[in-house]
Structure 1
């Protein structure tokens, strides 16, 4: 069952990062009301997933109570490097939004794959508690992916042809 524990750990970290990234995107694009409000709601789902995974982790002997991933300073430093341009030049806000939506989509897709792996493992191990968590959480992750994909489809033509 080490494989299940490892996958729970990786998914816990992925959900924590997705929640953090959704909140950061909501803050960066606060003028885009749909992005701000929906990203906050989707981040709440990932926070719930983190809590549910921490409970599952405890059953597999791993402690997932603390924040997963990088410290806040490391995340902020990486964000500053990523968005920094030449002095006096700010990247186009539309392009930044598309980049954020792309990154959110890829993070949700990675989490979805881990949820699917856990579902298959839970069935093989006959672990009904784990299967219940997966059944509750994975559809939300799929919804996160659908939202980012829809936003990219809707915004790309306008943003990319305006440059």
Structure 2
């Protein structure tokens, strides 16, 4: 395994993980419409990144599982019902802050891996991988900015109300 295949494998796993976590947060906080809709959109970005990484890995002779990792309809329905039940209790704000913090850290980790992939692509003069990183990394940075903005806006109100 060389540095490129290692980077592709780690980043693919990270993007799939982030897509799943974003969708879980969207389902868990369904009653908060902004969180639900934005997290769903951001999950699609990570799913697309994982698909593009799987194709790039295939071009490098590496076979990565390119399934989206979406959850079954039964589990999604259970999460929706749980979100409705929890939505009327005082703890959802703390849960949301915890979820946003975890998403922020996951997206930041992916951002670092995108940077490393771009650097190894540049060092090996792999224009296809450099283009991939240049197109996907800005969306990961946007995911980080969203989580940071949400934490900054929500934490004073949530924490002051405890």
Say if 1:101 and 1:148, in contact at 8 Å, map to a contact too. yes
| Counterpart residue number, 1:154 | 153
| Counterpart residue number, 1:22 | 22
Secondary structure of the structure 2 residue equivalent to 1:61? coil
Distance in 2 of aligned mates of 1:68 and 1:48: 8
| Counterpart residue number, 2:64 | 64
Distance in 1 of aligned mates of 2:146 and 2:91: 22
Distance in 1 of aligned mates of 2:66 and 2:60: 16
Say if 1:12 and 1:68, in contact at 8 Å, map to a contact too. no
Distance in 2 of aligned mates of 1:149 and 1:140: 14
- CA-CA distance at 1:137 after TM superposition: 0.2
* TM-score in terms of structure 1 length: 0.85
Distance in 2 of aligned mates of 1:118 and 1:13: 14
Distance in 1 of aligned mates of 2:9 and 2:40: 24
Say if 1:108 and 1:145, in contact at 8 Å, map to a contact too. yes
Mark the CA change 1:2 to 1:159 in structure 2 (over 3 Å): closer, same or farther. same
Q: Does 1:107 align with 2:109?
A: no
Q: For structure 1, which runs of at least 5 residues remain unmatched after alignment?
A: 77-89
Deviating above 6 A after TM superposition, structure 1's stretches of 4 or more consecutive aligned residues are: none
- CA-CA distance at 1:99 after TM superposition: 0.3
Secondary structure of the structure 2 residue equivalent to 1:20? helix
Say if 2:50 and 2:66, in contact at 8 Å, map to a contact too. no
Q: For structure 2, which runs of at least 5 residues remain unmatched after alignment?
A: 76-88
Distance in 2 of aligned mates of 1:44 and 1:66: 14
Mark the CA change 1:15 to 1:91 in structure 2 (over 3 Å): closer, same or farther. farther
* TM-score in terms of structure 2 length: 0.85
Say if 2:29 and 2:35, in contact at 8 Å, map to a contact too. yes
Distance in 1 of aligned mates of 2:68 and 2:138: 22
Q: What is the CA deviation profile of residues 101-129 of structure 1, one whole-angstrom value per residue up to 9, with x for unaligned ones?
A: 00000000000000000111111110000
